[in-house]
Structure 1
């Protein structure tokens, strides 16, 4: 079976919940302490075996490309006297390919994923990673999805149990039968009201998809907000080749929200002993 070597990063969104900061800073470059969200996502992908990074971006987000530039002049400046800073410039291995694709209009996640079609071979599967979903885990969050998808050759999504009052913000699955944290999906509903939710398992920002998902996306109609929803294409995949879900083994922070972003920073800060003591002292 062909290895999964490509990952799509939809980064063309406007980041309106973080205005005015996102007037000039892409939300994906907002830092968790000193490392941007998008770098965490890229490192996760590379660790899982991805060697081609496809950024679906917008004209206002050149800073993301700049962040991953090797910057040899700056490296040379730091190399002799500040080697610890030179090391921090290693944001991406030189052998990893970067591709930037303009989305044009931000018409939803499904529309963003569709822009990668010409870069994915017909016989290969690919990952989709949303940098907003910051995950801390002892196990690479993407790897179990890749393994499950390769074994079944089906579209595979990551899910976690969500509080009932928040289900209306997620695509929600109806799991069939869990086996080692993997299940077939009997139904998937985008942003249901609580009474209509088929379970408490919401889809989060990690996917492994077959090339055929592009066919479904092309046929997907825009919703009432004018967006093309990836969930609609996943529903078609479920009816066709099948869809499966993998439970997240880790802690996720929704950094698309201010609350999640602050909590993620606190979580990482508390893992650094010096920062932890400073925080505890300030709060005492």
Structure 2
């Protein structure tokens, strides 16, 4: 069985939910306190033993490449001012085997993954979406790799969501739980209405694929929104080889919308050594003000 060495991070989306900020700034560069969201994804990949990462980017995404490149002028300035901790933060983003591919047109997530075919070759690989930040004792990507080493099968991450939210996700139709937290799947359904949803197990932003997924993507017609949907290709792949679903029970932060991004900033800020005390005091003050306003009503 081949080792899982490579990861694909799709980052070509237009980021329309965050306009006007994303008119000229890559959505993936929006910070969680002081670290871009995409850096959290890259760090999870490295913690899981991934050696080579390809980022599928698009127009107005140059800031991602610049972030992971060296900046000699900045580094020299930090060295001269003996700011060793800041220098470490800057340099740790450059010691990574990163590659970049352009998705020329926004044809959907499935098409973005397909652009990495030549980079992946005939190897298993992971796909990591930047809108989902995961936290667990064992990184979710590592959990998928561990499962793959047992089954040799493509495996994607799922998480239970409120039934009324199923229209926001791809959802699985499980047939059996082959072992705790690992499901055989009958069908994969892209964004079903709550009435049509076969379960509450929604696909979240981590996947591990055998390379046969590329053949499935090449035979997948545009689906919802006129885009090539990765969920449709997974459903097609599942007709010829088993695709498992691994239930994630850790903590997921959805930073793909304004409220989720703000909430994640607060939660991470409460753990950040530089701001956690002041932030806690501020939140307590705001809470008291809101309570007083409610009592006056």
TM-score scaled to structure 2, two decimals? 0.91
How far does residue 71 in structure 1 lie from its aligned partner after superposition? 1.5
Q: Conserved in 1, the CA contact under 8 Å of 2:114 and 2:217?
A: yes
Q: Conserved in 2, the CA contact under 8 Å of 1:182 and 1:246?
A: yes
Which shows bigger deviation, 133-142 or 163-172?
133-142
Tell me whether 1:283 sits opposite 2:287 in the alignment: yes
Tell me whether 1:198 sits opposite 2:202 in the alignment: no
What is the distance in 2 between the residues matched to 1:249 and 1:46?
Answer: 21
What is the distance in 2 between the residues matched to 1:126 and 1:146?
Answer: 9
What is the distance in 2 between the residues matched to 1:7 and 1:79?
Answer: 33
How far does residue 269 in structure 1 lie from its aligned partner after superposition? 1.4
Which consecutive residues of structure 1, in runs of 5 or more, have no partner in the other structure? none
Q: Conserved in 2, the CA contact under 8 Å of 1:175 and 1:184?
A: yes
Q: List structure 1 runs of 4+ shifted beyond 4 angstroms.
A: none
How far does residue 46 in structure 1 lie from its aligned partner after superposition? 0.5
Q: Which residue of 1 aligns with 2:90?
A: 89
How far does residue 74 in structure 1 lie from its aligned partner after superposition? 1.3
What is the distance in 2 between the residues matched to 1:189 and 1:264?
Answer: 28
What is the distance in 2 between the residues matched to 1:51 and 1:224?
Answer: 34
How far does residue 200 in structure 1 lie from its aligned partner after superposition? 0.3
Residues 87 and 279 of structure 1, relative CA distance in 2, 3 Å threshold: farther
Q: Conserved in 1, the CA contact under 8 Å of 2:156 and 2:208?
A: yes
How far does residue 224 in structure 1 lie from its aligned partner after superposition? 4.5
Matched residue of 1:176: which SS? Answer: strand
Root mean square deviation of aligned Cα = 1.4
Paired positions, count: 282
How far does residue 220 in structure 1 lie from its aligned partner after superposition? 0.5
What is the distance in 1 between the residues matched to 2:207 and 2:2?
Answer: 17
Q: Which residue of 2 aligns with 1:8?
A: 8
CA distances 1:26-81 after superposition (whole Å, capped 9, x unpaired): 11000111111000000000000011110111132110000001213311211242
Which consecutive residues of structure 2, in runs of 5 or more, have no partner in the other structure? 289-297
Which shows bigger deviation, 16-25 or 178-187?
178-187
TM-score scaled to structure 1, two decimals? 0.95
Q: Which residue of 1 aligns with 2:20?
A: 20
Q: Which residue of 2 aligns with 1:184?
A: 184
Q: Mark the structure with the bigger radius of gyration.
A: 2
